[in-house]
Amino acid sequence: MRIAIGGVVHETNTFSSLPTTRREFENCVLARGADIWRRYQGTRGSMGGVMDAAQEYCLEIVPTVYAEAVPGGVVDSRTFEEIVDELCQGLTGDLEGVLLVLHGAMVTDKHEDAEAYLLQRVRDKLAGDIPVICTTDLHANISPEMVTLSRCLVGFDTYPHCDYYQRAYDAVRILFHTMQKDLNPVSALRKPPMMPVVQRLLTDQDPMRKIMQLAHEIEGRQGVVNVTVAGGFPYADIRWAGMAVVVTTNGDSHLAEAYSEEIEREIWSIRQDFVFNNLAVAAGLKIARQSTEHPFVIVDSSDNVGAGSSGDGTAVLAELIKQKTASCAIIIRDREAVGMAEKSGLGGVFKAFVGGKTDDKHGSPVYIEGVVKSISDGSYCSERTGEQVNMGKTAVVDINGIILILTVNRVPAFDLEALRSLGFNPEQLKYLVVKGAVQWRSSYGSIARGWVEVDAPGVTSSNLERFSFKNVRRPIFPLDRS
């Protein structure tokens, strides 16, 4: 059996001022044909799972295009459509199935529901009833069109995400049995009027743990093929932002509807448990400094690169300097400052304003004086997936014990290897600042002896009332607390 594989992955923050262009995909991933195989064979991410499962089921892979960019602002539609064109051009020959790795929360300047557009293009290209199965992120903003245009959506079950590989493997299994006619997947979607912040979507803690336990119990019932519960992505001002429940059964639409409604009722009944609040920066840092156990993680969730923020927020850096917080590491994305550090040279004195240069939403630039400790290419191998990560040219500046890591590219706080690759042992530092919300726990959490989340300026604040929503469905919880 021949199956085509590919995908376009982007989590779009419509409040971000950072446009996502072709350069952002090229800086991250834009792989074609056999390059996909070479890049992902033996890795533990989604595409690695697809490849290993395809080999187990003796499927012939036809790789098309796989593109991925770091979460950011609205995707340039021309770039997106060029990638989709190329992907569809690869859907040739006698295909019996298609497996797409998607996110589910991508927005372009022309397509509010970019995944639905992509799926429609794929369906238009395919002849006959060739099944299309997709993987999606737990933060997908799943729309009715996405469900209708695919045979099954297989979403992540964990947050922090640690099941990319497993869920992709499962998606191939479902595709195989669908092609074999052993399965006839039919799905039902429910959209509870809820748009929780990501901090309340941890799947190993209530309330989400309780919901996922119910989902897994239903998934084990007779006739059920898959259950996907998506928490949604609240930083996208689009109609279908928010939670979703998709139940897929083997040919029984009534059963799918009944089970999806059962999960929706449970979600709505505990909606108050999805409310979240955090601390002001100064108060949070005070708590960190009172800790006697280290490393202690300071979470700047309002500048969460993994949710589309700029990565150059300065509120935490300014407070670290004010409180003279030594033995601390913080990463700031600032291309200009990296260039200045290069000119200063190793051991040179660095004096400059850093951060706060993307827009006026993440704090003002902060003046620092320090010593340049290293300059590197900023590349490393993820300890989670084995995939390559590129921070771009990276400079390390020591500010009286505050280790400021300046990068050219925005990189989510997913890997401790980002620090280790620069020669630091993070276990020996007292404080680690992460520009993230939850995913940091899968790496930094392994060594953290405590943590505090602070509410700095930024386009990923956990206080949704800071944002001017115009397009989401209303009423929606927690914006509307009824």
Residue 223: Cβ within 10 Å count: 11
**200 DSSP assignment:** G
> What confidence score (pLDDT) does residue 278 get?
87
The mean pLDDT value for 360-386 works out to 95
Per the CB < 8 A criterion, the answer to whether 309 and 446 are in contact is no
Closest C-alpha to 310, from 6, 31, 13, 69: 13
The mean pLDDT value for 123-148 works out to 96
> What confidence score (pLDDT) does residue 127 get?
82
Percent of the chain scoring above 90 in pLDDT: 97
Closest C-alpha to 71, from 30, 103, 118, 110: 103
Q: Tell me the two tokens of residue 89.
A: 């051009």
**59 DSSP assignment:** P
pLDDT (tens digit per residue) in 222-239: 999 999 999 999 999 999
The size of the chain, in residues, is 482
> What confidence score (pLDDT) does residue 143 get?
98
Domain spans, the chain: 2-274, 281-462
pLDDT (tens digit per residue) in 237-295: 999 999 999 999 999 999 999 999 999 999 999 999 999 988 999 999 999 999 999 99
Cα–Cα distance, 302 to 436 (Å, whole number): 8
Cα–Cα distance, 482 to 9 (Å, whole number): 34
Cα–Cα distance, 248 to 242 (Å, whole number): 20
pLDDT (tens digit per residue) in 161-208: 999 999 999 999 999 999 999 999 999 999 999 999 999 999 999 999
Cα–Cα distance, 262 to 267 (Å, whole number): 9
Closest C-alpha to 145, from 111, 95, 94, 183: 111
- CATH class of residue range 2-274: alpha beta
**Under 8 Å CB-to-CB from 115, ≥6 apart: which residues?**
102, 103, 104, 106, 134, 136, 140, 143, 146
- Look at residue 264 and give its three-state secondary structure: helix
Cα–Cα distance, 6 to 101 (Å, whole number): 6
Average pLDDT, the chain: 97
Instruction: Please provide the distance, in angstroms rounded to a whole number, between the alpha carbons at the two ends of the chain.
Output: 51
Q: Which long-range contacts (CB under 8 A, 24 or more apart) does 205-211 make?
A: 206/273, 207/270, 207/273, 207/274, 208/159, 210/266, 210/270, 211/263, 211/266, 211/267, 211/270
Closest C-alpha to 175, from 157, 156, 151: 151
The mean pLDDT value for 87-116 works out to 97
> What confidence score (pLDDT) does residue 482 get?
62
**pLDDT value at 391 more than 70:** yes
The mean pLDDT value for 109-132 works out to 96
**pLDDT value at 63 more than 90:** yes
Cα–Cα distance, 267 to 232 (Å, whole number): 13
* Burial class, 38, CB count within 10 angstroms (exposed 0-12 / middle 13-18 / buried 19+): exposed
Closest C-alpha to 452, from 353, 316, 358, 339: 316
Strand locations in 266-393, DSSP E? Answer: 296-300, 328-333, 349-354, 366-376, 379-381, 388-390
Cα–Cα distance, 419 to 416 (Å, whole number): 6
> What confidence score (pLDDT) does residue 22 get?
97
Cα–Cα distance, 442 to 308 (Å, whole number): 19
Write down the residue that tokens 């001017």 correspond to.
Answer: 468
**pLDDT value at 414 more than 80:** yes
Per the CB < 8 A criterion, the answer to whether 63 and 36 are in contact is yes
> What confidence score (pLDDT) does residue 176 get?
98
**pLDDT value at 137 more than 80:** yes
Phi first, then psi, for residue 413 (nearest 5°) are -80, 65
Cα–Cα distance, 151 to 471 (Å, whole number): 28
Residue type, 170: D
> What confidence score (pLDDT) does residue 46 get?
97
Phi first, then psi, for residue 366 (nearest 5°) are -115, 130
Phi first, then psi, for residue 102 (nearest 5°) are -125, 175
